[in-house]
Structure 1
Amino acid sequence: MKQTYLKKAFKLFSAYKADQLTSDDLSKADAKASNLDDKVIDFKVLIDIAKDISKGRYKVNTWNASIIVGTILYVVSPIDAIPDLIPVLGWLDDITIVGYALGKLSEEIKRYKESKIQFTK
């Protein structure tokens, strides 16, 4: 991916971190998840974390919450560094942003999964 697209993607991602998620955004994100190649499962975990945060069932710090919100909104937004209408290339920026977020949130995702395992026992 060209460096300019990557810079634009991270600039948009930063802007989306300040927004709020709606249940419609979460539904759209779930529908678009299949386009994220090997990151589908972990992206769906981010969606689950967002749902549990909104229902008060899970707590995260503000920074991690902003990364989760920014990532989900970036994926569902029609305004991307590379528009999603362009086959294959349109998802590269989304995959990059999701990969970045998953790297930053690896400990949070692990903690969330462990909390779900404990809850089901």
Structure 2
Amino acid sequence: MSASKLAGRVIKSVFFKVALERAVEYAKSNKKMGDLLSKVRSKTQHLEPTENNASFMENVSTLRRMVRAYKQGDYKEIPWRSLTLVLAGLLYFVSPIDFIPDLLPLVGFTDDIAVIIWVYNAIRSDIENFRQWEAKQVVPISEQS
């Protein structure tokens, strides 16, 4: 199954719909956003960086930095719809229960990758705006917080 077909099936799944519903409440809570960012960081630290997943890891990192800048009040230019899509994608990524269980060797992260790529492509212009804003910052946004 192609990545776009898989993403389409996952986006229509009950698992992603639940993530979208939860994303709205997360977007309203700095604490929940902070907890989510910590979970994303923890999960990505346990993934082995490879040539095959380098762009996925970079996409997750960018989405994480965007949410952190929003949460800290430094970057509020992200539209509500885009923020909730990013949060839903990250919630789906860290959820142990999803379309393809992460415990399945080799294919377990396929749906996570498809969702992150779909979210990234869905809000590409907002991400470009964020990257332009980020490049102008005197102090770069760190991956540590």
Report the equivalent of 2:142. Answer: none
Q: Name the aligned partner's letter for residue 14 of structure 1.
A: K
SS in 2 for 1:120: coil
Q: Name the aligned partner's letter for residue 71 of structure 2.
A: S
Q: Name the aligned partner's letter for residue 67 of structure 2.
A: A
Matches within 5 A, 1:35-74: 37=53, 38-59=55-76, 60-74=78-92
Alignment check: 8 A CA contact 1:17 1:70 kept: yes
Report the equivalent of 1:113. Answer: 131
Is 1:17 the counterpart of 2:28? The answer is: no
Alpha-carbon separation, structure 1, partners of 2:116 and 2:92: 9
Alpha-carbon separation, structure 2, partners of 1:13 and 1:92: 14
**TM superposition score normalised by structure 1:** 0.85
Q: Name the aligned partner's letter for residue 97 of structure 1.
A: V
Alpha-carbon separation, structure 1, partners of 2:89 and 2:60: 9
Aligned Cα RMSD in Å?
2.3
Alignment check: 8 A CA contact 2:33 2:67 kept: no
Alpha-carbon separation, structure 1, partners of 2:6 and 2:106: 18
Alpha-carbon separation, structure 1, partners of 2:17 and 2:138: 35
Return the offset for 1:53.
1.2
Is 1:32 the counterpart of 2:43? The answer is: yes
Greater fraction of residues in helix: 1
Return the offset for 1:22.
3.5
Return the offset for 1:6.
5.5
Q: Which runs of 5+ in 2 are unaligned?
A: 27-31, 140-145
Question: CA 1:47/1:5 → structure 2, altered by over 3 Å: closer, same or farther?
Answer: closer
Return the offset for 1:4.
8.2
- Percent identical among aligned pairs is 23
